[in-house]
Structure 1
Amino acid sequence: MLFALASPVAFVGFVLSFLLAVVVRAVAIRLATRAAGLEQRRTRIGFSPRHDFDVFGVVACLIGGMGWGRGIEVDDLPSWRGRGRKAMVYAAGPLSVLVLSQLVLLAFVLGFPGYRPLLAVARPLNVKTGLLITANGDVAGIAAEIIAAIGVGLFTFALFDLIPLPPLDGWGLLWCSLRNPGSAAQSARLWLVEKNLGVVLLFVLQLFPFGGLAWVLLDPIGAPLLRIWAW
């Protein structure tokens, strides 16, 4: 819980955003799987902590601010209905979380208009390390801090989930783009999936260098989005 030391209030918001994102992603994936006709057996649409949480994803969220849910193996979805339908399933999770993040940010700017100008100069990393909380413990500031952290946390979850590394959904989208995966692709899959190199790389992106390369790479996308909400 490294970044919790800098801003415990923002930490609470990011943890809540992670829990919400995992739930929304899981439900969206199941709905998309059923809509695409790729459901191999009738399953419950609802959220299942045992099946939807990933231990490494939880740890990554607690120490770095970005986590992930249980990944979908590329062989878990049948290919006989085409790669496009499989890609739709992989995209459903992050896109649903992304839409929810915008609704939460809308609630923030409508509910706390006095804090809205702070988003004009903010980056996602600013929100993670504490942006709105006042030194005197103002209740409105605390509430605004938590809601802003939830919105940005959802947003970062969605974008992080699109990185083409397993077990993220971006890896599934990348695999669906390959018509006939060759020996090089299969070798990469062996190392990244079977030997968990993908998880190791995701932890590295979270923590090194510059306080987390993933956060640095997110700034060019995240900062302009936050400025949009500063109208």
Structure 2
Amino acid sequence: MKKLMVSGALALAFSTSAVVAEESGAFVGVDLGMSNAVMTQDAGDFGAFDFNNKSASIGNFRYGLLGGYKWFFTEKAGLRAYLQVNNGANQIPAGLDTHSIINTLNVMANVDALYNLYSTQESSIGLFAGLSFGYAIHSGKVVDDLKKNGLKDPSGFDMGINFGLRTIIAKYHGIEFFNRFGVIGASATSTIQPQLSSVPLDAKMTTLQPYSFGVRYTYNF
């Protein structure tokens, strides 16, 4: 009888620990990664003059902070919402063998769906995917030159898709490998006056951040 009771207790303890879900709660974190930017100037063609231009940067280092809250509705599925601020610089080609620096500060609100593939009382491994909505603030010599030429600052709304792999270690510590693909970039439309024409042109400048990827540490309260 005692053996049966001990066996039953062990089985119950094992089954309980095996299905313990990750807990809801607040979290904060830091991230490090790489990203790039594409600046597109579109004013159409005017006679022999082409006012179209597209410059893509090489990948550059970014760093940021984040904080938010996660909710788990089942043992495996949950949702999180968090604010994120990151900063970095990109080298935009400005001519033959020359580059200009554009600094970008992103302030973003994110909502991700969470799904844990494996979970115990102390650890979990899972996936996340969601949307990122924010405001991209672009600055530097490139933006200053745009303003001198009559173009508006292309800072503004920026939207992307998040996805990646996440893990919780020792209940409180999280490591994530994240990706973000930009789908809508900041843009501004200006009316410019070509020097050799009396007809003004509407020029649109768009700055898209096509991708970013990196690693993130979170502390879960």
**TM-score of the superposed pair, with normalisation by structure 2:** 0.25
Higher strand share: 2
Higher helix share: 1
